[in-house]
Amino acid sequence: MNIAASSGVNFQSSFYNRFFESLPNKDIKNPAAFNKMGQRLASPHWNRLAIGLAAITTQPFLDYFNPRVDKDTAKASALRTISKIIVCTSVGFAVRGSCYKLTNKFMHASAKEGSIALTPAVILNEKNPEIQKNMLKLHRNTFSTVFALGVMLFTNVFVDAPLTTILSNKLISAQKARQNKDKAVS
């Protein structure tokens, strides 16, 4: 039997209400700039950068402090993770950004606005401008993401993997050189 249902109290709702009531209520000073920032962050390439930043701040620490492996393996694993995140985030950001810009260049609601080469007929034939704008935005984001995924199938194998190996080897070599220098000094 559900305790919350039997007592007539919704614990989840009261927790959320108390939580949100405890937050300071501040007005946004420049809503236009705030909305512009939100629109920018909603694009696929800025999403990739945000994911990469989150990964670089967490994953290497998990590898470095892994209690199941020896210290040298943990250090090498953390360095490989760092290089993988740097390379994959950089390449992913560039690829997604390029695909997003290409899609925006060739997908418009009318020929007056620009090229309609990638715009589906259903969007071009929509009479309601608000619905057309919404459909176009959704289609642009979806098309650019699928386009970028196709390109990234190639770049993951032929760009990311070799660059990750090169950067990992350089970081591990630098770390070993630093260890050897510290041993020579002591």
Residue 149 has pLDDT above 80, yes or no: yes
Distance, CA of 109 to CA of 177 (rounded, Å): 58
In a domain, 65, yes or no: yes
In a domain, 135, yes or no: yes
Contacts of 51 (CB under 8 A, 6+ apart): 89
In a domain, 96, yes or no: yes
Distance, CA of 39 to CA of 31 (rounded, Å): 12
Which residue segment(s) compose the domain that 165 sits in?
Answer: 41-185
40 alpha-carbon distance from chain centroid: 12
Contacts of 69 (CB under 8 A, 6+ apart): 77
In a domain, 24, yes or no: no
Q: pLDDT tens, 76-109? A: 999 999 999 999 999 999 999 999 899 999 999 8
Angstrom CA distances, 130 to 85, 122, 134, 137, stand at 39, 14, 6, 11
Distance, CA of 40 to CA of 32 (rounded, Å): 12
Which of 83, 49, 82 minimizes the C-alpha distance to 161? 83
Residue owning tokens 């470095």? 64
Name the pTM for this structure: 0.73
- Tell me, what DSSP letter sits at residue 110? S
In a domain, 32, yes or no: no
Q: pLDDT tens, 52-83? A: 999 999 999 999 999 999 999 999 999 999 99
In a domain, 6, yes or no: no
In a domain, 79, yes or no: yes
In a domain, 88, yes or no: yes
Number of domains forming the structure of the chain: 1
